Amino acid sequence: MSLLEVKSATKSFGSLVAVRDVSLAVRQGELRAIIGPNGAGKTTFFNLISGFFPPTSGTVAFDGNDVTALSVTKRVHLGMARTFQITEIFPELTVHENVRIGAEVAAGYRLRPWISRAGAEKVERTIEETLALVGLSAKANRLVGELAHGDQRAAEIAMALTLRPKLLLLDEPTAGMGDQETYEITQLIRRLHRDSNFTIVLIEHDMRVVFHLADRITVLDQGKLLAEGTPQEIGANEAVQAAYLGKAA
């Protein structure tokens, strides 16, 4: 059974149809990339999955639940976490504090006026493990707003990871990064997928990253599903090549 199953999702804003009748099924443990030219509706599609806004028509099912009408917060509690194209972090707090908020919410402490020593130790362990996983242990006491872009992205991913998500949604994780930073984030995503077994759906522009990481690729063009397949299949697909070269498919 699929972990995430989107059926015939359509989203229109007035007369503009940003996503038209797109279906997608992602199985447990998969790393799926969503690609497409600018304006293909990738981020809109992501917003439908994560609950930023509801689809005009169609359904989203996650982990056996119909989540089409659920709020962002409820989807998070079911195990969906996401990052954004423009990094969303808590800039005036330290890396440790950023990650701690996620860890405490995930542990069910968000309304607590205090937590037990055991609870605090559990939270601290989660923070340490997560920071080690994304390679930010040495920068735990730095203010996130002062870090380099690549480290901010890693911090954002770390916050998502504290939720122990069943599904990790990454919106252009390498957007605006240089080669070295892109390489590091790619390696991080690879570790999360191969070693920690996270199910990941990501949007990506950088084709080297996509072909290096993805198990399967979904191609959107002008709001519609253009193709889906393994990296080899997509690389050989003429319609995809045409879309990227700007010709009519």
Partner 1 sequence: MSGEQARKLIVIVAIWLLLLLAPYWMPPLGGYTALGTRVLVLGLAAMSVNFLLGFTGVLSFGHAAWFGLGAYGCGLMLKFVALSTPLGLIAGTVLGGVLGGLLGTLIVRRRGVYFAMVTIAFGQVFYYIAFQWSSLTGGDDGLRPFSRQPLHLGFATVDILSDATAFYYFVLFCFALAVAVMGFILRSPFGRTMLAIRENERRARFLGIPVERHIWIAFTLSCFFMAYAGSLYALVNNFADPRGLHYSQSGDFVIMAVMGGMRSFWGPLLGAAVFVVLQDYLSSVTINWMSFVGLLFVLVVLFFPRGLLGVIRRKSEA
Catalog residues that contact partner 1 under the rule CB under 8 A: 50, 72-73, 76-77, 81-82, 84, 88-94, 97, 100-102, 104-106, 109-115, 141-143, 146, 156, 159-160, 163
Q: Which is nearer to partner 1, 16 or 111 (CB)?
A: 111
Going by DSSP bridges, is the β-strand pair 216-221/224-229 parallel, antiparallel, or unpaired? antiparallel
Interatomic CA distance for residues 82 and 69, integer angstroms: 18
Interatomic CA distance for residues 23 and 61, integer angstroms: 11
3 and 27 in contact (C-beta within 8 Å)?
Answer: yes
Shortest spacing between CB 27 and partner 1, in angstroms? 24
Q: Which is nearer to partner 1, 115 or 242 (CB)?
A: 115
Shortest spacing between CB 249 and partner 1, in angstroms? 34
| Alpha-helix runs per DSSP H in the chain | 42-50, 72-78, 95-106, 117-134, 149-162, 179-194, 207-213, 231-236, 238-245
Q: What are phi and psi of 41, to 5 degrees?
A: 95, 15
Shortest spacing between CB 240 and partner 1, in angstroms? 31
Residues near 190 by Cβ (< 8 Å), separated by ≥ 6?
Answer: 212, 213
Q: Which is nearer to partner 1, 46 or 237 (CB)?
A: 46
Q: Which is nearer to partner 1, 47 or 218 (CB)?
A: 47
Shortest spacing between CB 55 and partner 1, in angstroms? 18
Q: Which is nearer to partner 1, 91 or 235 (CB)?
A: 91
81 and 70 in contact (C-beta within 8 Å)?
Answer: no
Shortest spacing between CB 51 and partner 1, in angstroms? 9
